[in-house]
Structure 1
Amino acid sequence: MTGTTTVHDGRRDLGARFHDAMEVVARWLPFGLSRVVAPSLLGFALINGFTFGVDLLLLTLFRGGLGLPVPIAFTIAYVIAFGLSFALNRALNFRSHAPVGPQAGLYAVAVLVNYLAFVLGVGSALTELGLQYHLSRIVAGACEAAFMYSVMRWVVFRDAKA
């Protein structure tokens, strides 16, 4: 595999191995997509697909299990999932070594904008219009994915070699 290798205690860094795996997958994309899809986009999709699953699981627990109102259930699940997304994307996908404080601040602003526009705006509005709350969250998730990848790649983790 190709890519940057970082060695700690004689072993390859997990972030380098993750990036190498995403490069391999990107090379196998059909229809010429391998020329336009960055390995970091695939990594983002994998990590955020996982954290979105965590988000939906927590949403189900908070709304379906505990009976919390939709905006509160959306908010708690969202904050937990996005914290996990930040940590995994920083370490594995973007392999950033810049100071975490400024990145966390930029990420918090992006998450707030994303939350207001897509989670509460789109998600809650669709639920109020009669769409089931899981489906509302999935539609909002599709909108936020494009926004968050762009912000993470070109603003938050701009020091990284994505």
Structure 2
Amino acid sequence: MTGGTPTLSDNGRDLGARFHDLMEVVVGWLPGRLSRVVAPSFLGFALINGFTFGVDLLLLTAFRSGLGLPVPLAFTIAYVLAFGLSFVLNRALNFRSHAPVGPQAGLYAVAITINYLAFILGVGSALTELGLQYHLSRIAAGACEAAFMYSVMRWVVFRDTKA
């Protein structure tokens, strides 16, 4: 398939479609009006990015505590690797985009650059400099970046989908 996402199929069903169906079921279980307010793509984003955030923290620990890299460098390397994984998983499973990957990757690169400067280096490093432990600084920065990145992914990067 030229320019599109390869299909990860399991018994003829696309894994992205199965993932979306599961998110719809789980959203349907939410209490009260939440089931009408929470989009399945938001839940999918939360699950995927929760996982990749864990990968980010593991890499951060390895680079900072294991290798002794300075906090900004450790944040940067872990961030780039985790967000690459996030892009691939969100594109294939959550937003199920089939648009050409090149322009999307370009938009995503701009978004993560803004996110990185504002939240990761800005908030994360500033909180560490103020005395907050670096894991807690990264978690605080992660809360800020989650709202920004979901919005950018849903309405800018993967706007070709009906998430």
Q: 1:9 and 1:31 mapped to 2: Cα distance?
A: 34
Q: 1:21 and 1:31 mapped to 2: Cα distance?
A: 19
Establish whether residue 83 from structure 1 lines up as the match of residue 84 from structure 2.
yes
SS where residue 124 of structure 1 aligns? Answer: helix
Q: 2:141 and 2:8 mapped to 1: Cα distance?
A: 39
Residue of structure 2 equivalent to 1:137: 138
Give, in angstroms, the shift of residue 83 of structure 1. Answer: 0.2
Give, in angstroms, the shift of residue 8 of structure 1. Answer: 5.4
Residue of structure 2 equivalent to 1:118: 119
Aligned residue type for 1:149: Y
Within 5 Å, give how 1:37-56 maps onto structure 2: 37-56=38-57
C-alpha change, 1:34 and 1:61, in structure 2 (3 Å) is same
Counterpart contact for 2:9–2:15, Cα < 8 Å: no
Aligned residue type for 2:95: F
Residue of structure 2 equivalent to 1:68: 69
- Identity rate of aligned residues, in percent? 87
Establish whether residue 23 from structure 1 lines up as the match of residue 24 from structure 2.
yes
Q: 2:48 and 2:39 mapped to 1: Cα distance?
A: 14
C-alpha change, 1:9 and 1:49, in structure 2 (3 Å) is closer
SS where residue 161 of structure 1 aligns? Answer: coil
Give, in angstroms, the shift of residue 31 of structure 1. Answer: 3.0
**Number of residue pairs aligned between Structure 1 and Structure 2:** 157
Aligned-residue CA RMSD (Å): 1.4
Q: 1:130 and 1:43 mapped to 2: Cα distance?
A: 34
Residue of structure 2 equivalent to 1:104: 105
Structure 1: 4+ residue segments shifted above 4 A: 6-10
With structure 2 as the length reference, what TM-score do the two structures score?
A: 0.94
Give, in angstroms, the shift of residue 10 of structure 1. Answer: 5.1
Q: 2:77 and 2:53 mapped to 1: Cα distance?
A: 13
SS where residue 106 of structure 1 aligns? Answer: helix
Q: 1:60 and 1:7 mapped to 2: Cα distance?
A: 32
Unaligned runs of 5+ residues in structure 1 are 1-5
Residue of structure 1 equivalent to 2:95: 94
Counterpart contact for 2:23–2:41, Cα < 8 Å: yes
Q: 1:143 and 1:41 mapped to 2: Cα distance?
A: 15
With structure 1 as the length reference, what TM-score do the two structures score?
A: 0.94
Q: 1:8 and 1:46 mapped to 2: Cα distance?
A: 20
**RCO comparison, higher one (Cα < 8 Å, 6+):** 2
Unaligned runs of 5+ residues in structure 2 are 1-6
Residue of structure 1 equivalent to 2:33: 32
